[in-house]
Amino acid sequence: MAILSFYWVIATPRPAYAMHIMEGFLPINWVIFWWAVYLPFLLWGLRSLSQITQRHPETKLLLALAGSFTFVLSALKIPSVTGSCSHPTGTGLGAILFGPTVMSVLGSLVLLFQTLLLAHGGITTLGANGVSMAVVGPFVAYGVYQIVGHSLGRPILGFFLAATLGDLATYVVTSGQLALAFPSNYGGVLVAFGKFISIFAITQIPLAISEGLLTVLVWNWLRTYNREELKILKMIKQEL
């Protein structure tokens, strides 16, 4: 899986406009606004991440796994329509394991590396992309899992729905961000939102379902080979 994922990331020579809003695309007022929204969550995530690594350094490998999972999945760009493309986000797994605030940090690192290494996204639009992929997506995934996996006692279904709906929530927010920045001349923000989200929906719905299934497979693997680390994670959630 790792070799195949690496090949997919490298073997995409033509440029694509993905869910990550590209550099210079947003007006400056929206750049400032989304950075202002994102920074408090980033600081909150840094505090949570610092507590976890200081109290339980043995979880660093799982943190690295969660970040790598997000990086690889979100770098798999699938052509969509009208010159855009879609991709999984991979943030649901880390949000469930470590909580949604940690993913604001891991997600920002992923977005930064993709901007610098893959020309995927942008520095000025990192705030907007961070809100959609590293804040809203993880919080939706975490909330869904708490309801389905924890309260209803269906962890496998919880992982699937959390990853799937967290992925879709990211694209809904991105569509809203683009609609606010570029409202339609006829119909305003709502019409623009419908256009943007319809562009992504064709390819993103099956991708979100695929991400949910893959997240379940990774969870089953962790449950088999990382039982001790998962026990520690339960302690962490009680401490934070």
pLDDT digits (tens, 9 = 90+) for 18-30: 457 878 888 999 9
pLDDT of residue 19: 56
The 10 Å CB-count burial string (b at 16+, else e) for 59-94 is beebbebbbbbbbbbbbbbbebeeebbbbbbbbbbb
Q: What percent of the chain has pLDDT over 70?
A: 85
DSSP strand pairing (85-86 vs 78-79): antiparallel
Query: Domain 19-239 adopts which CATH fold?
Result: Arp2/3 complex 21 kDa subunit ARPC3 (1.10.1760)
pTM: 0.84
Cα 232–chain centre separation: 24
Instruction: For residues 186-205, give the mean pLDDT.
Output: 84
Domain positions in the chain are: 19-239
Query: Looking at the predicted structure, is the pLDDT value of residue 17 above 50?
Result: no
Rounded Cα distance between 163 and 138, Å, is: 9
pLDDT greater than 50 at residue 16: no
CA atoms within 13 A on the CB side of 64: 5
d(CA 187, CA 196): 13
State the Cα–Cα distance between residues 80 and 199, nearest whole angstrom.
7
* Residue % of the chain over a pLDDT of 90: 38
Amino acid at 88: P
State residue 96's pLDDT score.
92
Q: Is a pLDDT exceeding 70 seen at residue 6?
A: no
Does residue 72 contact residue 9 with C-beta atoms inside 8 Å?
Answer: yes
124: exposed, middle or buried (Cβ count in 10 Å: 0-12, 13-18, 19+): buried
Q: Is the pLDDT of residue 11 over 60?
A: no
Within the chain, residue ranges assigned H as helices are 2-10, 28-55, 60-74, 92-98, 100-118, 126-129, 137-145, 155-181, 188-225, 227-239
The pair of three-digit structure tokens given for residue 161, joined into one six-digit string = 């729905």
Q: What are the Cα distances from residue 127, in Å, to 118, 180, 189, 228?
A: 18, 15, 20, 36
- Give me the half-sphere count of Cα atoms (radius 13 Å) on the Cβ side of residue 223: 10
The first and second tokens of residue 108, run together, are: 């920002």
pLDDT digit string, tens, across residues 184-193: 888 899 998 9
Reading the block at residue 56, the tokens are 């339980």
